[in-house]
Amino acid sequence: MIQQTKTVGELLKLEREKRHISRSQLAQEIRVKEVFLHALEENRFKDLPAAVFVKGYIKAYARILQFDPEPMLALLRRDFMESAKGKLVPQEFLKPVMRGSANSSIRFVLFGGVGVFLAIFTYIVLRWYSFISPPKISIISPAENAVVSAQILVQGVTEPEAKILVNSQPVSVQADGSFETNITLPNEGMSTITIEATDRQEKKNTEQRTVFVRF
């Protein structure tokens, strides 16, 4: 009869010694390192692999030594539980870990909630800023202070829904916000090109380029 007052390791050692089998002999039979069987019989589970292997060792003991492994496994379940890493940990040590895990989960949820709030807040601020800001204009050509001929190509990018005027003349805006048009500068010398963008809320933005016309 297996006495439930003993530990799993003590019971395994007792069953082995009853049959006069050395630990090294048993290790060869089971095909397991002897150091693992030594740790198992001394209940040093921290020196053993994952719980699934420990249970396998106990079943191997039972097969070779010819006893029922279920009482041993039941005793193992009573005194030990699997940690998050799959290792066997005494019940009294696992509970604080579980509380720590619960606290970590609470902190994770709290931080996650704060992250979601900040993301929503940032989105609202950006949308509000976009709503109150005039449409952006980026002029690709001509460059500032460029020397040009009377016929000049004006190119740029704005917001897709904006309306563009180049020297007070309307210019079509493409789906990607790009626009271009050819204009004529009638006078030689310094000239200013004015590009004006207006959005649906009638907010306006104006950019200018100074060029030097040479005929």
**Whole-angstrom Cα distance, residue 106 to residue 193?**
60
The CATH code of domain 137-213 reads 2.60.40.10
Take residue 189 and report the two structure tokens written for it: 């010398």
Query: By the 8 A CB rule, do 153 and 211 touch?
Result: no
The 10s digit of each residue's pLDDT in 42-77 is 988 888 888 888 888 899 998 988 989 898 888 888
β-partners of residue 206 are 196
Domain residue limits, the chain: 8-94, 137-213
| Identity of the highest mean pLDDT range in 1-5, 27-31, 208-212 | 208-212
pLDDT given at position 111: 78
The 10s digit of each residue's pLDDT in 85-130 is 778 877 765 454 445 555 666 777 777 778 888 888 887 877 776 6
In CATH, the architecture of 8-94 is: Orthogonal Bundle (1.10)
Confidence grade of residue 207 (pLDDT, cut at 50, 70, 90): very high
On the CB side of 39, CA atoms within 13 Å amount to 15
* Other CB atoms within 10 A of residue 100 CB: 10
Q: What is the 3-state secondary structure (H, E, C) of the chain?
A: CCCCCCCHHHHHHHHHHHCCCCHHHHHHHHCCCHHHHHHHHCCCHHHCCCHHHHHHHHHHHHHHHCCCCHHHHHHHHHHEEECCCCCEEEHHHHHHHHHHHHHHHHHHHHHHHHHHHHHHHHHHHHHHHHHHCCCCEEEEECCCCEEECCEEEEEEEECCCCEEEECCEEECCCCCCEEEEEEECCCCEEEEEEEEEECCCCCEEEEEEEEEECC
C-alpha of 192 from chain center: 51
Same fold, 8-94 and 137-213: no
**Whole-angstrom Cα distance, residue 143 to residue 49?**
70
| C-alpha radius of gyration, the chain, whole number | 40
pTM above 0.85, yes or no: no
Contacts with 120 (C-beta within 8 Å, 6 or more apart), sequence order: none
